Amino acid sequence: SQKIEQNSEALNIQEGKTATLTCNYTNYSPAYLQWYRQDPGRGPVFLLLIRENEKEKRKERLKVTFDTTLKQSLFHITASQPADSATYLCALSNAGNNRKLIWGLGTSLGVNP
Amino acid sequence: DAGITQSPRHKVTETGTPVTLRCHQTENHRYMYWYRQDPGHGLRLIHYSYGVKDTDKGEVSDGYSVSRSKTEDFLLTLESATSSQTSVYFCAISEGGGPAYEQYFGPGTRLTVT
């Protein structure tokens, strides 16, 4: 069956370090993968989109990689700050006829000062 | 949340009563979506719209209906609320359809069905 897996355990790191979050998928052939941030009590906020033919995408302190062989996307936040503490969601879509986004459960990141 | 509002933000209702949630956008985006978010589940698509009067079902559409009579408004109706519909409901919009376009989310509506 199709499955998206994000680290279920919270990730806690020290301010200034690089946070790396993982999104693994099985039985999908995603054409697009998106990352969102969600704060408690609020809606998700779009961060980055990467296509299947792109290996890496960057935006300021954020970097996303997409490895279709490993069936994995990594999301990096460099020089992390306490304000980066949130839950991070990955969402992907098949290349097939049903191209709606399918969402992971998210990983909670805590950045300690 | 800019450009997208949801009302009400919180609602408690009894089983069997009808409930309508409203999503309003000022961005003039063509696509609008209704999701629900529950512990242990990722965001799940209920219904979406690709234009005025054009709607389609998502993965968890049973028990829900939608209407879009104006570009800016997308209504979600629970005809007869059940306890399993207790959830946080998010509206989202996107400029284009499909996964190549990012989605912008509203602040959410927390619905409790007793």
Model pLDDT for residues A15-57, shown as the tens digit of each residue: 999 999 999 998 888 888 999 999 999 999 999 999 988 989 9
CB of B77 closer than 8 Å to CB of B111: no
Cβ A107 vs Cβ A21: under 8 Å: yes
Q: Across chain A, what does the average pLDDT equal? A: 92
- A90 within 8 A of A4, measured Cβ to Cβ: yes
Query: Splitting chain B (114 residues) into consecutive groups of 10 residues, what average pLDDT does each group show?
Result: 88 98 95 94 92 92 96 97 98 82 94 98
DSSP character string of A85-100: -EEEEEEEEESSS---
Q: CB B100 to CB A49 under 8 A?
A: yes
Smallest CA–CA distance, residue A103 to chain B, in Å, is 5
Q: With contacts defined as CB-CB under 8 Å, which chain B residues touch A41?
A: 108
Residue of B88, B66, B79 lying closest to B17 (CA atoms)? B79
Cα B69 → chain centroid = 15
The pLDDT value given to residue A98: 56
Q: Give the pair of three-digit tokens for residue A3.
A: 């499955």
Nearest by Cα to B15 from B110, B71, B82: B82
Closest by CA to B55, choosing from B10, B88, B27, B23, is: B23
Residues 6+ apart with CB under 8 A from B68: B32, B49, B51, B52, B53, B54, B55, B74, B75
Say yes or no: A5 contacts chain B, CB-CB below 8 A.
Answer: no
Beta carbons within 10 angstroms of residue A14's beta carbon = 9
